[in-house]
Amino acid sequence: MKKGLVRFLSKVAALTAAAAVAAAILPGGVFGTQDVARAATGVIYLDQETYSIRVGEVAEDVIDFRLMDVSYDTVLTGENGLYFKQTYSRVDYTSNVERVKVSVYAPKEGSYRLTISAKDSAGKTVDSVKVNINVSSSDPIKSIKYAGITLSTEAHKLGAKNVVTDKKSGKLKVKMKSGYTLGEIYVGKNVVTADGTTQMQFTKVSNNSNIKLGLVPSNTQVIEDDMVRFVEGMAAETVIRVYYLDQKNKEKVYVDYYLNVLVNEK
């Protein structure tokens, strides 16, 4: 990121504020399996440490983490032939935190690892975390339905990114395949923050319950040439996050499904 845009704050104050921001965004107010106490020694917060993806498919924005002090640079290192790229970055200058998402692709089944490092201006590593990525051809979810419609992560099908629905509410029903145990289900919706931008907030819901989709489109703040402008989305996105336990690997991971409602111009 451009250093000219960085507002240097006290590291202690930045980490304290960042932890509060992240806790409001992530399901349950937790950073995957990482403890909040990590703020005392680390600057990288992972959404979770283990991911499961499908072989031969690009998993867009699947790895989600926060750099708690934007004076550092992030460096990504992959193993075993993993393809990866940082595909999303957003800086909150109030808390001095950068949210980053990484897309990955694996050409064959197996276990992969991505290392995320934070380096200072001298190139010294100040923090490093490892992400485990399990790649398989099987889908742990037998079926997931919203308002009677089957959802999918496949492109152009309801449940994938940017696919629109006119069903603003409906019953959510999830069934798992043998060998997998259904965990928590969260529904994420955009809420407007004090500065006029939006952030995704998650609420825990029950299986076989009725849910309502969010009606607030994303609104981000972009700084260009010392000027601030807002970029608003055309559709309001709702994320259905399904956690499950892989009984074989004893790992708790999740799958995201996306539902979008068009928002008319006011």
pLDDT of residue 227: 67
Q: Which two tokens stand for residue 160?
A: 């994938």
Which domain does 163 fall in, by range? Answer: 141-262
Find, among 253, 50, 60, the residue nearest to 132 by Cα.
50
Shared domain for 13 and 111, answered yes or no, is: yes
Amino acid of residue 117: S
Provide the 3-class DSSP secondary structure of residue 63.
Answer: strand
Shared domain for 130 and 146, answered yes or no, is: no
How far is it, in rounded angstroms, from Cα 240 to Cα 205? 10
Shared domain for 73 and 9, answered yes or no, is: yes
Of 81, 106, 136, which marks where a domain is finished? Answer: 136
CATH assignment of the domain containing 58: 2.60.40.10
pLDDT of residue 194: 83
Model confidence pLDDT, tens digit, residues 245-264: 877 767 777 888 999 999 86
Of 76, 106, 136, which marks where a domain is finished? Answer: 136
Residue 164 near residue 264 (C-beta atoms within 8 A): no
Residue 171 has pLDDT above 90, yes or no: yes
pTM of the predicted model over 0.75: no
Burial label, 86 (beta-carbon count in 10 A; 0-12, 13-18, 19+) = middle
Of 109, 136, 163, which marks where a domain is finished? Answer: 136
Find the mean pLDDT for residues 46-59.
81
pLDDT of residue 55: 78
Shared domain for 65 and 126, answered yes or no, is: yes
Shared domain for 129 and 146, answered yes or no, is: no
pLDDT range class, residue 17, cuts 50, 70, 90 = very low
| Domain count of the fold of the chain | 2
Residue 20 has pLDDT above 80, yes or no: no
CB neighbourhood size of 124 (10 A): 9
